[in-house]
Amino acid sequence: MVYRDDVGALEARLETLESELAAKTRQRDEAARLVIEAKARARNDALAADWAAGGPQRRRRQRIALLVAMMMALTAAVGLFWKLSTRTDPAQEQLHRAVVQFERYADEICACKDSQCVQGVSERMTTWATELAKQDPHPDPKHVDQATMERMQGIGLRMSECMSSAMSSSKP
pLDDT tens-digit map of 34-80:
999 999 999 999 988 888 888 888 888 888 888 888 888 887 777 77
What is the reported pTM? 0.48
State the DSSP H helix or E strand holding residue 124, giving kind and residue range, or none if neither: helix 115-133
Instruction: Please list, in sequence order, all residues whose beta carbon lies within 8 angstroms of the beta carbon of residue 133, skipping any fewer than 6 positions away.
Output: 76, 79, 80, 83
Residues in the chain: 172
| Mean per-residue pLDDT over the chain, rounded | 80
Does the pLDDT of residue 24 top 90, yes or no? yes
Q: Quick check: 155 pLDDT over 80? A: yes
Is the pLDDT at 106 greater than 50? The verdict is: yes
